[in-house]
């Protein structure tokens, strides 16, 4: 879960239900979006889109949106939809959730992950449900969520909404779920197939095309202007010369990939040719693309290590160095690239993940990459949204993806600012071949960065406004201040008593309640109490559970948290009475 590093000025507009604490401040774009959201909800406008670059804090924005809707009486419950399990688990981190709500000054909320119907359906008073699009669109999950959403007015958050095409299977099933308002979030609210996104407001332009209408948008330029959010970018485009020989005449022709594109060959034709000739597997192709990337990678790691040694930070240990991500076009291509890296760059720890490998192996390797134990990761598309590995600062794009939205998501994997690096090390180098159409995308990214940085430098160069002059001047002026001996006094409400004695002890309700964990804990307590009671009464343990089932009319696996609490209290009373009561 993203923690804000950019501290905005104190908000000029109060947000319903939010009372920032512990020095927490929203980023500028977050504050602007939430102010607009509060005003729109009060006007009765219920469906909105927020566009934020990765690393800007969409999770915090989503949760703060619910706090506002809850305070305004618009929604009593929240359902968060995400496209991947790792994003679901990020939202469902109890410690992080508690910290966010504590910083927001929000009331206590209960939450549960919905990956099966076993827990949250037994506890329909749960306030926050976190689930995936896949579960919500499945038959059992959709039926369970319909039942949950009918218990109270619900707010929906569609995270990474670009996955949710309006005519897709997911959207068609989620459309049946009742809700009163929604917030859709994305860094790239567009699809390569140009399909309309579900739950996203749009308007039709003069050209007849649909354009999304965001309540607020934080662009790359905005993020670079604020600073501390995105790395700067250096794009390196590699071109190749190909020698073609006519089989019948022996005539030879040399063309670069750039020249092939200029002569009118479409991307698909170039892809077909290169695939047929297996040129993207050729050592010369891989060397031309990978050699400069690894040369830069080596230089960046050496420079960072030297800086950390000189600054004394290396002696303290635990620092992270730069990492590389290689994006291949297929699992076979990824295997070929890894083989080349292991043969030519053996000094680095490199591995790959892919759909052709066991899930447990991929998860173990990905976790090693997250923790910095692996230097280079080769993959196709398994590192996507929600994979927050900020030390990635070299990307080799060797795949065939050219769509703007997908390319942006790939590039963003290496653009998140990392506070553990000095400012000059927060730079991402991207290497791509000239046989792809990503050149224009990379040029645009570079232009946005330069404009944003210029705006930040201009803002930082502007001297702060002088404090206002006093309206009245006193006739008396301070001439001298003398120091006096200082004494320390201990103020005690009840002198002579130990700390805590005679004082009212207040038991605070936890900021968030994880329904899954609470149920597990209650089940364990009930099982231990039942075992103890069976031993004292010298009866079979199944008789204890049978007596409890008679009282509660349900077996233990069907009990809600409230009913498990009742069972625990009954078991405790039986133990005190040393008999069934």
Q: Are residues 346 and 200 in the same domain?
A: no
Q: Are residues 409 and 556 in the same domain?
A: no
Q: Are residues 413 and 549 in the same domain?
A: no
Examine residue 275 and state whether it is found in any structural domain, yes or no: no
Reading the chain (581 residues) residue by residue, the pLDDT tens digits are 554 544 455 554 689 999 999 899 999 999 999 999 999 999 999 999 999 988 888 899 999 999 999 999 999 999 999 988 878 888 888 888 999 999 999 999 999 888 766 677 888 889 999 999 999 999 888 999 999 999 999 999 999 888 888 888 898 999 989 999 999 998 877 776 667 788 788 777 777 777 788 999 998 888 888 888 899 888 888 766 656 555 666 666 555 555 555 554 455 555 555 554 456 677 777 888 899 999 999 999 999 988 888 887 766 666 889 999 999 988 999 999 999 999 999 999 999 999 899 989 998 999 999 999 999 999 987 766 556 789 999 999 988 777 777 778 888 888 899 998 999 999 999 998 775 556 667 766 766 666 666 666 676 666 655 555 544 444 444 444 444 444 433 334 334 444 444 434 444 566 777 888 888 889 889 989 999 988 888 888 889 988 898 888 888 788 888 889 999 999 999 999 889 98
Indicate the angle between helix axes 283-311 and 331-344, nearest 10 degrees.
60
Tell me the chain's radius of gyration from C-alpha atoms. Answer: 30
Examine residue 481 and state whether it is found in any structural domain, yes or no: no
Q: Are residues 334 and 400 in the same domain?
A: yes
β strands within 388-494, DSSP E = 392-397, 427-433
Domain hosting residue 521, numbered range: 514-577
pTM: 0.75
Give CA–CA dist 500/492, Å, rounded.
11
Task: Answer for the pair 297, 325: CB distance below 8 angstroms, yes or no.
Answer: no
Q: Are residues 456 and 518 in the same domain?
A: no
Q: Are residues 409 and 319 in the same domain?
A: yes
Examine residue 171 and state whether it is found in any structural domain, yes or no: yes
- Kindly give the residue spans of alpha helices, DSSP state H, lying in 93-219: 94-104, 133-137, 139-149, 169-174
Examine residue 118 and state whether it is found in any structural domain, yes or no: yes
Phi, psi torsion values for 240, nearest 5 degrees: -130, 150
Examine residue 112 and state whether it is found in any structural domain, yes or no: yes
Domain boundary (188, 218, 248) is at: 218
CATH code of 159's domain: 3.40.50.300
Domains in the chain: how many in total? 3
Q: Are residues 71 and 205 in the same domain?
A: yes
Q: Are residues 407 and 524 in the same domain?
A: no
Give CA–CA dist 33/344, Å, rounded.
49
Give CA–CA dist 93/102, Å, rounded.
14
């Amino acid at each position: 879960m993203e923690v804000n590093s950019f501290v905005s000025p104190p908000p000029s507009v109060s947000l319903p239900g939010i009372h920032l604490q512990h020095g927490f401040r929203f980023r500028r774009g977050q504050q602007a979006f939430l102010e607009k959201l509060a005003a729109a909800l009060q006007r009765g406008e219920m469906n909105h889109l927020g566009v934020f670059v990765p690393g800007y804090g969409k999770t915090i924005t989503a949760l703060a949106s619910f706090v506002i809707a809850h305070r305004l009486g618009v929604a009593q419950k929240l359902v968060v939809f995400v496209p991947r399990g790792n994003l679901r688990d990020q939202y469902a981190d109890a410690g992080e959730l508690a910290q966010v709500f504590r910083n927001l000054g929000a009331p206590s909320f209960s939450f549960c992950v919905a990956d099966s119907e076993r827990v949250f359906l037994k506890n329909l008073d749960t306030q926050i449900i976190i689930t995936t699009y896949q579960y919500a669109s499945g038959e059992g999950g959709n039926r369970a969520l319909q039942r949950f959403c009918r218990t109270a007015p619900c707010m929906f958050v569609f995270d990474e909404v670009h996955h949710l095409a309006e005519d897709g299977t997911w959207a068609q099933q989620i459309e049946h779920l009742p809700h009163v308002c929604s917030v859709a979030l994305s860094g790239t609210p567009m699809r390569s197939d140009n399909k309309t996104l579900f739950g996203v407001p749009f308007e039709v332009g003069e050209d007849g095309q649909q354009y999304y209408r965001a309540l607020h948008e934080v662009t790359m330029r905005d993020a670079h202007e604020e600073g501390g959010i995105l790395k700067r970018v250096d794009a390196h485009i590699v071109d190749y010369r190909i020698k073609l020989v006519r089989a019948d005449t022996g005539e030879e022709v040399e063309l670069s990939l750039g020249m092939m594109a200029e002569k009118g060959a479409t991307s698909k034709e170039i892809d077909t040719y290169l695939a047929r000739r297996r040129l993207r597997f050729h050592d010369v192709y891989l060397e031309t693309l990978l050699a400069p990337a690894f040369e830069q990678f080596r230089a960046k790691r050496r420079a960072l290590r030297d800086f950390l040694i000189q600054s004394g930070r290396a002696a303290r240990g635990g620092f992270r160095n730069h990492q590389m991500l290689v994006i291949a076009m297929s699992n076979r291509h990824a295997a070929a690239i890894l083989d080349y890296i292991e043969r030519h760059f053996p000094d680095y720890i490199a591995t790959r993940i892919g759909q052709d490998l066991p899930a447990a192996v991929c998860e173990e390797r990905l976790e090693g990459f997250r923790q910095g134990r692996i230097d280079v990761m080769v993959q196709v598309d398994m590192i996507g949204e929600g994979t927050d590995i900020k030390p990635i600062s070299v990307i080799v794009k060797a795949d065939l993806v050219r769509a703007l939205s997908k390319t942006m998501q790939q590039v963003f994997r290496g653009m998140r600012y990392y506070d553990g690096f000095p400012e000059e090390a927060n730079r991402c180098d991207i290497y791509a071949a000239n046989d792809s159409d990503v050149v224009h995308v990379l040029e645009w990214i570079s232009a946005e960065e330069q404009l944003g940085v210029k705006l930040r430098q201009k803002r930082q160069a502007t001297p702060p406004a002088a404090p206002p002059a006093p309206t009245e001047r006193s006739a008396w002026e301070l001439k001298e201040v003398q120091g006096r001996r200082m004494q320390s006094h201990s103020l005690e409400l009840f002198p002579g008593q130990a700390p805590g004695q005679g004082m009212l002890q207040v038991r605070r309700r936890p900021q968030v309640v994880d329904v899954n964990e609470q149920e597990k804990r209650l089940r364990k307590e009930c099982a231990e109490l039942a075992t103890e009671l069976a031993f004292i009464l010298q009866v079979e343990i199944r008789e204890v559970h049978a007596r409890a089932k008679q009282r509660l009319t349900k077996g233990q696996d069907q009990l809600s948290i409230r009913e498990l609490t009742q069972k625990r209290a009954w078991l405790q009373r039986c133990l005190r009475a040393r008999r069934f009561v």
